[in-house]
Structure formats: C-alpha cells, structure tokens
Structure 1
Amino acid sequence: MNADVIVVGAGPTGLLLAAELGLAGVRAVVVERLARRSGQSKALGIQPRSAEALDLRGLLEPLMDRAIQRVDGGHFAGLRLDYTAWNTRHPYSIGIPQGRVEALLEERLGELDVQVLRGHEVTALSQDADGVEATLLGPGGESRLTARFLVGCDGGRSTVRRLLGIGFPGLDGKLLSVVADITISDPDGAVPETWTLPVMTPDKTGKGYIAPIGDGVHRFLFYGAEQQRLSRDAPITEEEVRRALQHEFGPGVRLTGVRWASRFTDASRQVERYRHGRILLAGDAAHIHSPSGGQGLNLGLQDAFNLGWKLAAETAGWAHDGLLDTYHSERHPVAARVLANTRAQAVLLVHDEENLALRGIMEELLRVPEANRIVAGMISGLDIRHDLPGRPHHLLGRHVPNLDLVTASGPERVARLLRDGRGLLLSTADEATFAKAAEPWSARIGRAHAQAELGADAVLVRPDGYVCWAGSVADVSGLADALARWAGAPARPSSPVTTPE
C-alpha cells in the first residue's frame, strides 16, 4: 500500500482530517486537483464549537493570530444571537478567510510530514475487502495510489461521489446570490471599516453585505431581482457588482477591482450514507446548504474531527466493530439539522407579506432569552449532543467543558490535556481506583486527576472532545465498558478492580 488513507481534497475538511490522521501516526496523503491554493477568501467564519475543537489541538491560538477580528454572538437570517448563554470560552464568531485557515492547516501537515499531492486529479476508483485504488492524472501522466481507506473531501461537486455513483438528494436552490472579493474607493466612509454580523433584512430590490478581509480587499455578498433573472453560469461582470455596491452604499463608493466572484444558490443536499465500504465522504462532498448563519466551514471541520481518530483506530487495528460506522450515525443528523435551519433562514429572507409576517414573529421570539439560546446553540454547534450508550448523565454525549483545573503538576485546562490526540480520563475523586481501571488502555487514553466541578467522580473523553462516560466510583464496570467501546480491546489484561468501601 502507498498509504493508509488517501484524502481527496485540500480544503479545510481534507487538511484537518489529514492532520488528525498524521497526529495519530497514520500514513496519509492528500490529493488535490489544483496545483496551488486559489487565494480566494471563500468561507469567512469560525463558530464556537469549531473554536473549541481547534483548541484541543493547539490550533486556535495561531488561527486567532491570523483572524481579522472576532464578533460577539452570531445571527439567524440576520437576526442577532447571543452565544454567552452557553458554557463556552468562545461566545463569538471568528472572522477569518478560508484561505488563511487552509494555510495554517497545511503548515501543520508539514510539521507532521503528511504529503499534499497537488495538481493531481482522481479519474477512477476501485475497492475491495482489503483496500482502495485511486487512478490519478497529474503533471507526469497517469499513476495509481493504493490505501486501506479513501475519504472524499472534494467539495459540493465531488469527483469521488460521482465516480461512486452516489446520489445527492435534496432541494434545488431558489435564491441566486453573488459573492466577490473586491477593492473599492470609499472617500465618504459609507462602507463599514470593521467586521460586523450581517444585517440581511428582506428587500425586494436587493440586498448586500460587505466586510473587510485584509490587504485592502472586501468580501461583498449580494442578491436582488437582477441576480434572479440570470443563470447560475452567467458571467459576473464588474458592472453587475458595481450596481449592487452602489445600490447598497450609494454612488460615492467606487469599485476599483474584482479579484474573484462566484454565483451560488441556497440549494441543500445530503448523501444518504457517509460510508461506502472503504470510501467515506466528509464536508461539502457529503452535504451542501446555503451559507446562512455561517455554518458550512464549521460543519466540515467537525466532520474531520469526528472521523479522524476513528479512522486512525481502524487502521491501527484496535477499533471495535462498528466504531467507524458511528461517524455516519453521529454526523449525518448534525448536517441534516443544519440543512433544515438554513432552509428556514432562506424563507425569512424572502420579501413577501407572508414571510415578512413570519420574520416579525421570529424577531420577537429571539428577544426571549431561552428562545435565543436554543437557536444560538443550533447555529454555533454548541448544542450538539451525540446519542451515546451508557448510564444517563448531563455530560454524556456533550463536548467536555474546557475547565480550569488544579492538578498535581499545577494549573491546567482540559483542552491542553487533549493535545496529543488521545482520549482522556479525568478523575476528580478516587484517583487510584480509576487509574487502575484505565491502566490497560494507557497507550490510548491519557489520565489526569484534578480539582473540578463536573458533577461526576470521573469522565472519559474521546479524542474529539466528547464525553463518552461520566459516573462515580460505584460504576467502574461502566467505565470499563466505555473504554472497550471507544478505546478498543485493552493492550494487556486488566486486573480486577475492587470498589472501595
């Protein structure tokens, strides 16, 4: 085999997945059709749940160094959301162009010696019970690459999905919009100089949103009656962008250049299964939706965090039967919910009497703190809770809180304890009992004893930050079951654990 895993697509999802695999010692290679990064801004925002996940691997701090700015809260069809009602260190949206996220992740791959094979297009795929073979077309002609698994992270028009003949059911788009990276002259200061959340109120004559993204460039998103009359493939002219810019900000704003522009719709589609034998799909290759609420980039990053450690366990040979299938069972419902909420946001942006009335009611509801909290949790990803087996506990299936801890070695935070990509057993009582129970899994599970208010004597945290067991010393057998389920067979036989009197 040339590799353990072939990752097709060097966008944020593919690069982060490859980084997770590399961290676990998996031989991964990324195959990318483009010879170099496009430099286009594309997606622009990191949501709180993604910030928490990136913090688990030490990626958040360097990402913040490259960010444009952070903005408190989020939005639902332009209606304000308050993230502070959720228990998170990051109750804000992070404004950063997708290209900068990709650059950061590719640097991490360099540190992990994971190869990115650019300028190579996948033209054929085959698989059997032992592995996958990909035929590539690159600068040197045709070649073949074999691996145990392949993951398609190659976007909404996925070649992997097409070659497998996988359907992409869903709804066609109704609203056609344009996004562009532009340069402007604004002598009167009509265009905001700082990053703000979109105010996408319905307007029958059209609406636009602009944000500075660095180096004198602005991201401009707009839609209106003119765009609805055009086809998806119609060229985007400077005159079209100029008209929309001046409609939104007045004749004093002058367009000086268009760096890149693209049309997009609010279509929403999702594959029925994320796994097809030894080939899996992630990110936009598995699901597409409108950018309303700024969730797309985040959905793909979290796919990668969920899949990476499970695929690493499978290639290492210690994954229990069915572990890899939990990628689909956990992530498919999350994406389906995003598709549903973006469809709802699209309705609230349509300018007609019925929809304006509905928007007015929604605006009133979001002034109610608990209603706002529910929607904020949905858009931010902070409300994700996987349906995991085990004794019920308020933390089970949720992302572990990034608490400040007092440990034997000094102050610590939970996120830093997960930097090595292993799981974590965090005990707050009966340290010796839990240490003895987990010792056979010590190569795959880190341990820490700390003073903390968790509402449990100990919690078992998966490598992706989700709590897969929480309980007391009386439930040590439940811990052993969870360790076997999420960390595989013990590396060596465990000795009996006696429960203290």
Structure 2
Amino acid sequence: MSNLYDVIIAGGGPVGLFLACELAMADVSVLVLEREPEPNSPSKVGLSGMRALNTASMDAFYRRGLLDKVTPPIKRPLNFQEKPGFQFAGQFAGIWLNANRLDLKRFKYRIPGPSLDISLNPVSIAGIEAVLAPRAESLGATILRGKNVTGVSQDEDAVTVEVGDEEFHAKWLVGCDGGRSTVRKAAGFEFVGTEPTFTGYAVQADIDQPDKLKIGFHPTEDGMYVMMRAGNFHLLDFDGGFFDRTQNVTAAHIQDVLGRVTGTDVKITKLHHASSFTDRCKQAARYRNGRVLLAGDAAHIHSPLGGQGLNLGLGDAVNLGWKLAATVRDSRTRYGPVVDLSLLDTYEQERRPFAAWVLEWTRTQVTVLKPGPHGAALRQLMSDLVDTDDGHNLFLGRIWGLSQRHDLGDAHPLVGASAPDFEFSDGSRLGPKLEGARGLLVDFSDGAALEKLAEGYKARVDYVGGVGARDQLGLSALLVRPDGIVAWVAEGSLDIEGAKAALMRWF
C-alpha cells in the first residue's frame, strides 16, 4: 500500500493541529487533511474568532513552549465596562465572574506560574492555527488544504480515506472535522444527546443607534444579546432551533431577530458577517471504532455558552496524542495488528466524562436563560449563589479548569489532576520540563531508589532528582504523564512498588 501514514487527521483546526504536533514530535508520520483552502476564514478572525483559554489549555501550550506565542501581548481587547476591584473572568448564563475573588488556597495543588491566569485573555482561532500549523510542519507533519473528506473505510490493518477521487491510507484516522463530522458519520459512530431550544447568531454589522445596546451580557424576555463592542454582537433566539442552518443568514433575518430579542428599534445599516449556532448537545457513544478515533467537536457538540468548546477539544488532543503515539510505536515492534489497546482506550475513559460535564454545564445555562418567570427565578437563584465566596470559587474552579481531575483509580486528590508547576531550587520550573512530551518522575527525596527505577524507563521518562522546590506541597515524589497529568504521588516515605506499578501502567 503506497503512501501509508501512521496517522491521518481529518481537520486542520486547533484541535487537529495540536494533535498533529503531539504525534509528529513522537516521530509518528502524520497527514492533516483540511477542507478549507485558506486558513483565515471569517469565523476564525476578528471578534467572531475570539476564544478564551482556560488554565488546562494554557497548561498545554505552556508545557510545549507555546504559551507566549498563542497569547497576545496586549490583553483585555473586549470592551466590557469593569469597575474598580472587578476583573472579568468569564460568565455563566450572563452572570459575570470576577477574577479578583479567586481564593487560590481552595485549590491546594495549584501553584502560581505562567499558565495560571484566569483573567479573560482572548485568543483567535486563526492566531492559534498560525502558531500550530508551521510547528506541525517543522516537526515533519504534512498539511494538505482544500481536501474535503468524502468517505472512510477500514480493515484490520489500515484505514482508507477518500477525498473525491483521491485515496489516502494510514494505520489510524482521527476525526477532528467539526460538529458535522464526515468521519464520524462515515465510520458509523452513534451520536446521542438533546435537540436545540434556541438559534444563536454571531454578527458583525454597522448599526444606527449603538448606544441603545449596552456592552456585556443581557438576558431579555425573548432571549439574550451579548454586545462585545459596537457592531459586534451575539443573539440568542429561543425559537426551538428551527432556523435552517443550511441557508444563508441574511440582513433581513438578523434585523428581525435583533428587534425581537433586544426590544429596540436599532437598525442594521450594513451586515458584514453573520453565522448561526444552536444549543444542540450530543456526544459520540464511543470515541474509537476500530482504527478510527474522534476528537474535538467531532466527538461532542454543545452551545458556546461558557466558552468551553475549544478548551474541551484541546484537552482531547493533548490526552490522545501521547497515547496514540505510544500505540503506533508499539505496533512497529509487533507482527500483524496491534494487540494491546489498553493505553489508547484510556483516552475515551478519561475524556468522555469531561465532555458529558460540559454538555450538562451548557444545558444548565440554557435553562437559566429561558424566557419567562421560571427562567428568571432560576437566574436570580444562580446570581445569589455566584455572589457568595463559596459559589464564586466553585464557578471559577469549574469554568477555568482549576478543579479538573481524571479518575485514575487513586483516591489522592492530585492523582489525575494537572501537575503543580513547581519552582525548583535551581530556578527551573516543572512545566517546561514536559516540552518534549515525555513522562517525568520528580524525586524530592534523598534516596536513589527512584532514580534506579527510572533508569529502566529512560526511553520515555525523564528523571528529576536531587533538587528541592520552593513549595513541595508535602510531596516526596510524583510521576507526571506526558500530558501533564499526575499518575502517582508519594507523601512522606516512598512507595517504590506504587511507583513501579504506575510506570508499568502508563509507560
């Protein structure tokens, strides 16, 4: 079979490109097929393409040496009117969150560092892709644009991807091709969930009375409008999701929705760009079918309320990348099909619960925003909850990923969570030590037992020992996976057998 890649990725957005970087860094041959001929589509630039990175995503970029490249040097481009003592940190159903109310002591294993910034720091989709695409290519990945996947077939040994009359072949295929994923449909994945209650619109337009629409999030009797700055706004219209999203969004249609949702006589004088979305919430019943996997919006869709979509997809990519790379490497040492897929299957086991939470999180916001007295009553209750210190930190912890934790079968609260960004006694930090996407065994003890144990895993795990840290958080050692997730910890005396079991399980 000619032109056989290790992995083909359908979709060259941030999720697909981040995954391509992770795989190529591990010496995996990667082909990215992107349907758009040019990278800067209208939905990826300007305010329509702006997204906020949570701490989990910022950790991912930081640990790969990319944080300074993807986050803009000038922050706060959104013109939200803030008061003294208030720093916008996101919202829940239009209820604003204040970064200044974060109590970091509630998150014991979070250490201040370059990636711990919960102030709103928007980045553009186009900007992220402009960083990741050349990085992927520099690592050896191939990116082909204008290649729309039209069909998928697989057997025990490989996957065939059809692009019109062309065929491409790989050992594995990952669908990162969005909510209407061709890969998901062609490979027979079941997609289950709930149907929409509203149609939303992202609009760039000239309007005649901008002062009548206030900056910020404004629930109304018929939906909600979000004014980013004059002429750039979002509308939520609780129409049951009946707008046909296959048709163009016209100026006349936006004018009708604008007047009904805002209750004003503001007129659109020129429509520059408009796109629609819904609160349809669905998730793939499984993330792997044979040699085909799903990530990002191809695996789960939901409303953009709360800004979790990009972060959820990037989490998929960083979780899947090292596991798929290890599986590819393992297959090179075997004859015939890969036998042991236990590591790869932890991708679905770990990521599906996160997506299920995001779907629930967005459904809750939709319920709070529903027009009528029931929605208003719930909105008032949620506002009262957010106004408490406990409530505010609960919401900050969830929205910004501070409380994220995978269930790895260990009761210790740090196992399954993001590794603390320790500042070591030599001035270095933990985060950059993961730049090579390898495991990391950190030893704060004075013994040599862990160093000797790590020697047997030096092909995939780095060892850091003989140094202390400014704050060791009561730990004597920990094992960190390539995705920055803690796989094992020791407090006090070392549990060598526990460390050995963790290394065997993950490496």
Higher mean C-alpha deviation, range 358-367 or range 66-75:
66-75
Please give the alpha-carbon distance, in whole angstroms, between the structure 1 residues aligned to 2:248 and 2:212. 30
Letter in 1 for 2:221: K
Aligned counterpart, 2:178: 155
Offset of residue 167 of structure 1: 2.0
Query: Would you say the 8 A contact 1:426–1:447 is kept in 2?
Result: yes
Letter in 1 for 2:72: D
Aligned counterpart, 2:57: 50
Please give the alpha-carbon distance, in whole angstroms, between the structure 2 residues aligned to 1:125 and 1:188. 52
Aligned counterpart, 1:396: 415
Q: CA offsets, 1:192-224, max 9 Å, x none?
A: 5xxxxx5242x1245321325xxxx96421134
Offset of residue 313 of structure 1: 0.4
Compared with structure 1, are the counterparts of its residues 230 and 356 closer, same or farther at alpha carbon in structure 2 (3 Å cutoff)? same
Counterparts of 1:409-420 in structure 2 under 5 Å? 410-420=426-436
Query: Would you say the 8 A contact 2:201–2:277 is kept in 1?
Result: yes
Counterparts of 1:59-138 in structure 2 under 5 Å? 59-65=66-72, 69=76, 72-82=88-98, 84-85=102-103, 86=107, 87=110, 89-137=116-164
Compared with structure 1, are the counterparts of its residues 234 and 6 closer, same or farther at alpha carbon in structure 2 (3 Å cutoff)? closer
Please give the alpha-carbon distance, in whole angstroms, between the structure 2 residues aligned to 1:303 and 1:149. 16
Aligned counterpart, 2:274: 261
- What is the DSSP-based 3-state SS (H/G/I as helix, E as strand, rest coil) of the residue aligned with 1:441? coil
Counterparts of 1:98-497 in structure 2 under 5 Å? 98-137=125-164, 142-182=165-205, 198-201=216-219, 203-211=220-228, 219-224=232-237, 230-242=243-255, 255-258=269-272, 260-317=273-330, 321-390=341-410, 392-406=411-425, 410-430=426-446, 432-449=448-465, 450-452=467-469, 453-472=472-491, 473-487=493-507
Compared with structure 1, are the counterparts of its residues 185 and 51 closer, same or farther at alpha carbon in structure 2 (3 Å cutoff)? farther
- What is the DSSP-based 3-state SS (H/G/I as helix, E as strand, rest coil) of the residue aligned with 1:73? strand
Please give the alpha-carbon distance, in whole angstroms, between the structure 2 residues aligned to 1:146 and 1:387. 35
Letter in 2 for 1:413: R
Letter in 2 for 1:45: A
Q: CA offsets, 1:252-278, max 9 Å, x none?
A: 8864441x3212111100011001111
- What is the DSSP-based 3-state SS (H/G/I as helix, E as strand, rest coil) of the residue aligned with 1:387? coil
Q: What are the ranges of 5 or more consecutive residues in structure 2 without an aligned counterpart?
A: 78-86, 332-337
Offset of residue 111 of structure 1: 2.2
Query: Would you say the 8 A contact 2:21–2:135 is kept in 1?
Result: yes
Offset of residue 245 of structure 1: 6.1
Aligned counterpart, 1:497: none
Please give the alpha-carbon distance, in whole angstroms, between the structure 1 residues aligned to 2:463 and 2:192. 44
Aligned counterpart, 1:36: 38
Query: Would you say the 8 A contact 2:93–2:366 is kept in 1?
Result: yes
Query: Would you say the 8 A contact 1:52–1:90 is kept in 2?
Result: no
Please give the alpha-carbon distance, in whole angstroms, between the structure 2 residues aligned to 1:25 and 1:184. 52
Please give the alpha-carbon distance, in whole angstroms, between the structure 2 residues aligned to 1:416 and 1:165. 40
Offset of residue 413 of structure 1: 1.4
Query: Would you say the 8 A contact 1:188–1:252 is kept in 2?
Result: no
Q: Normalized against structure 1, the TM-score is what?
A: 0.86
Please give the alpha-carbon distance, in whole angstroms, between the structure 1 residues aligned to 2:168 and 2:136. 19
Please give the alpha-carbon distance, in whole angstroms, between the structure 2 residues aligned to 1:17 and 1:315. 14
Query: Would you say the 8 A contact 1:29–1:115 is kept in 2?
Result: yes
Query: Would you say the 8 A contact 2:477–2:494 is kept in 1?
Result: no
Please give the alpha-carbon distance, in whole angstroms, between the structure 1 residues aligned to 2:241 and 2:152. 38
Offset of residue 372 of structure 1: 2.3
Offset of residue 53 of structure 1: 1.5
Letter in 1 for 2:31: V
Query: Would you say the 8 A contact 1:242–1:255 is kept in 2?
Result: no
Compared with structure 1, are the counterparts of its residues 365 and 2 closer, same or farther at alpha carbon in structure 2 (3 Å cutoff)? same
Higher mean C-alpha deviation, range 16-25 or range 228-237:
228-237
Please give the alpha-carbon distance, in whole angstroms, between the structure 1 residues aligned to 2:263 and 2:21. 42
Offset of residue 131 of structure 1: 1.7
Please give the alpha-carbon distance, in whole angstroms, between the structure 1 residues aligned to 2:74 and 2:52. 9
Please give the alpha-carbon distance, in whole angstroms, between the structure 1 residues aligned to 2:401 and 2:73. 22
Identity %: 37
Query: Would you say the 8 A contact 1:425–1:458 is kept in 2?
Result: yes
- What is the DSSP-based 3-state SS (H/G/I as helix, E as strand, rest coil) of the residue aligned with 1:199? strand
Letter in 1 for 2:312: L
Q: CA offsets, 1:96-137, max 9 Å, x none?
A: 222222222112213213111111122222222222121222
- What is the DSSP-based 3-state SS (H/G/I as helix, E as strand, rest coil) of the residue aligned with 2:191? coil
- What is the DSSP-based 3-state SS (H/G/I as helix, E as strand, rest coil) of the residue aligned with 1:395? coil
Please give the alpha-carbon distance, in whole angstroms, between the structure 2 residues aligned to 1:50 and 1:5. 23
- What is the DSSP-based 3-state SS (H/G/I as helix, E as strand, rest coil) of the residue aligned with 1:311? helix
Q: CA offsets, 1:265-301, max 9 Å, x none?
A: 1110001100111110011111000011000111101
Please give the alpha-carbon distance, in whole angstroms, between the structure 1 residues aligned to 2:118 and 2:70. 16
Offset of residue 235 of structure 1: 3.3
- What is the DSSP-based 3-state SS (H/G/I as helix, E as strand, rest coil) of the residue aligned with 1:93? coil
Aligned counterpart, 2:335: none
Offset of residue 249 of structure 1: 11
Query: Would you say the 8 A contact 1:268–1:339 is kept in 2?
Result: yes
**What is the aligned-residue RMSD (CA, Å)?**
2.7
- What is the DSSP-based 3-state SS (H/G/I as helix, E as strand, rest coil) of the residue aligned with 2:324? helix
Letter in 1 for 2:446: D
Offset of residue 398 of structure 1: 0.6
